[in-house]
Amino acid sequence: MDLLLKDKVILISGGAKGIGAAISKGLIEEGGIPVIIDPSPEGEKILMLANGKGLHIPIRLEQPEDAKKAVELTIEKFGSIHGIVNNAGANDGVGLENGSPEAFAKSVSKNLQHYYDLVHFSVPFLKKSKGSIVNISSKTAITGQGGTSGYVAAKGAQLALTREWAVELLPYQIRVNAVIPAEVMTPLYEKWLSSFPDPDKKLQEISNRIPLGKRMTTPEEIASTVLFLLSEKSAHTTGQHIYVDGGYTHLDRAL
């Protein structure tokens, strides 16, 4: 299927590693133009796959000015924005007992604020292109995880904002959807696994609980769904929360 993403300019926060990198590479395969907003130098290497077509903005989105700058640089270079993938984030383990009110506020802000900022500054351009927004959330927003209140609050808010923005942006034909992963092998996930005394055993335990195929979801499988949601091929899909998780969240994990 041709996703009709050729020459479409898509902002991808955290687009240099893990799930974001798979989205950037998938977009390049479709002939699209990724704008990779990520501090990692891996961003440059990904752009080489596109013969330099695209833009790497090597910053960490922290303050609203960062998102504003990313949007300005994109418009300066390409003149338009056709889509946004809000993806950057990290499960930072700020819980009730292992946290503090200050650490909670910081964790929520770190994982949520830039989702709003990128969309806020892009709306004028998305109105012109009738663009598409995809928010990457997490199954932890639905299932809970324990010990990570800040991250989960942000992930839940991203799902609420998906519906809220889908409504607010309806008049402009801008679509907004969320993709919800559960267990995906990425640099972030590997780091988390390595915190266990026997990472291989832990990985086996987790994989055994994933109903479809007893395996982790690949970053490319998340990317395929994201690219479809960015594409005009999903032109009548908005406000949806789409689980790409091998049945982890809804099917009986004892199966």
Which residues in this chain contact ligand NAP in the complex, by CB under 6 A?
13-14, 16-20, 37-40, 60-61, 87-90, 114, 136, 138, 181-184, 186-189
Please give the C-alpha separations between residue 244 and each of 58, 208, 222, 247, in angstroms, as whole numbers: 28, 17, 6, 8
The catalytic residue among 151, 189, 243, 248 is 151
User: Residue 9 and residue 54: Cα distance in Å, rounded?
Assistant: 8
Q: Cβ closer to ligand NAP: 127 or 226?
A: 226
Q: Cβ closer to ligand NAP: 13 or 132?
A: 13
Cβ–Cβ under 8 Å, residues 182 and 245: yes
- Which residue's CB atom is positioned nearest to ligand NAP? 18
Q: Cβ closer to ligand NAP: 13 or 122?
A: 13
Question: Shortest distance, CB of residue 138 to ligand NAP, whole angstroms?
Answer: 3
Q: Cβ closer to ligand NAP: 39 or 156?
A: 39
Question: Shortest distance, CB of residue 22 to ligand NAP, whole angstroms?
Answer: 8
Tokens standing for residue 168: 């607010």
Respond yes or no: is residue 116 known to be catalytic.
no
Tokens standing for residue 157: 């808010």
Please state at what angle helix 18-29 crosses helix 219-230, rounded to 10 degrees.
50
Question: Shortest distance, CB of residue 230 to ligand NAP, whole angstroms?
Answer: 16
Question: Shortest distance, CB of residue 126 to ligand NAP, whole angstroms?
Answer: 20
What residues are labeled active site? 151
